Structure 1
Amino acid sequence: MTTSAVPLGRRPKDLRRKAETARLFEEAAATTSETERERIHEEIVLLNIEVARTLASRFRNRGVPLEDLEQVALLTLVRIVPKFDASKDRDFLAYAVPSIRGDLKRYFRDFGWMVRPPRRVQEIQSEVVAAHQRARESGEPASPEKIAEQLDLKPSEVQAALMADGCFQPLSLDVPVSPDHGRGSLGDTLSDDDPSGERAAEARAMLTPLMRELSERDRRILHLRFAEDCTQQEIADQLGVTQMQVSRLLSRILGTLREGIGELDPTAV
């Protein structure tokens, strides 16, 4: 097993840090000088900075800058060092790791959303996505109904949570709507009637996870209608269907998108 594969806290340097941290806490408990105790606490923080940064790095590439994550982890480390009671538990790492990890998760919950879904969706989103990913990897059914049964949730809650996947870091608006129509992007399918651009930007971000759920055909229809400004009859000619069928397809697709946005933010529709 390589050194990098050894769990945090079990590498030789981690064991040395653990022993040194325990020694410093003993010194801090023995001194009667508040100034000296603060100095020792600062030394403990410096000694365990790598632990905080390692924990922060495990949350990288999720739409939040690594610098922000490290700042949260380090602030937590500074906060908990004076609170640690070495007389009750000599393993500072067992106390620090859950505290730092918990603050990182709360930071994501409160500040990591590019588009903020309802609180309930925020609370269950990571659990639902994890269950969905496990089901797909094992080849088991990954339907909202099946996941809802496993997690004791409502299917509508699971669906909303799955749709919220991507709200941390939405796809670029330059992503083509369809591989066969590279000139049209996701942003091209939306108008920009709002002079401030704020509502349009929010709508585009909210549409990102919803667009992923559409079939290739549905995305092509949206591209033809809103990117290439084709009439319903022109779309019908390209698809080999009637104009009436195109009208019904557009109504269904737009209805699906509106319903999805309503699940993410009931105030948006």
Structure 2
Amino acid sequence: MNKETTFYTCLIEERDDLNPFVQVYWAHAEEMGQAIEMMLDVAKENGLQRPFPRQCDPYDIKNLPDDIERSSDAAVFWTANRYAFPPGGKMLDLPVGIIASCIEGDHDIEEIEQGFTVFPGDKLKTIAVNVGVDQLEVLYGKILELFPVYKVFWCLLHDHWNDDSSDLFFVNEDLNSPDRIKAFIAENRANTILNGYITLTSYLEEGATNINISDHKRIIVRTYSKAVVDQISTLLESNELERKDSIVSIDAGIHHWHYRISDSLEKEQMKALLKSLGFKPWTPGS
């Protein structure tokens, strides 16, 4: 049985170095990820070469403008107007699984930039990294390769996936090396790194370190070890990521949505997959 559909709108940017512009699209879909894919497909059919989704929201179809174009199946709509802006600016292309809302917040998406910050607490220290869609998986792999052995790897299925009452942890002690962890992610990309409802964590015993790809698709490292902070910071800088005193990110002061792509598993299917791959449910503190 098909799910009930929602009507979505998306601001799509044509990332042209000489003549960039934005255009508004709308689509009926069961989930936001599916809607984004539908709108991007039609944008390409309309001649856009490098379309990228910048903002997305549910939309009341009653407010749909009269002067619009529509696909043959009336599933996707778009404005005839394209709104050009001066070339030269470079907005960070957010990773798949997270997208800004059109609702005004404390910050604008134009303020999000590549780089990292270090919060050197008295004990627990945090490294927070912004990278784009093309760098997230590669950079995470490079960080993992700094350390040869991991205690455990886990997937956190967040409670905001289907508005469940609690977070769900699934742990796997066999994923204990950089190669094994990277292989798991690569083989299950649609259901892990591209899923905005899941956090991935590699746990390193030194400094009780969590090396995360968060559900906001940022690399977040939490550790009690200054040596770990120094090693990772050096790696980030060698990959042309600038250390900053502060940084605007999608998860602070910007309204946003989490989503999963259309060919990914639903939550119950994901739980079954993890169990079939040797993951075990885990309750923190147990």
Shorter-chain TM range is: under 0.3
Higher helix share: 1
Higher RCO by CA contacts (8 Å cutoff, separation 6 or greater) = 2
As a proportion of its length, which structure holds more strand?
2
TM-score when scaled to structure 2?
0.21
Larger-Rg structure: 1
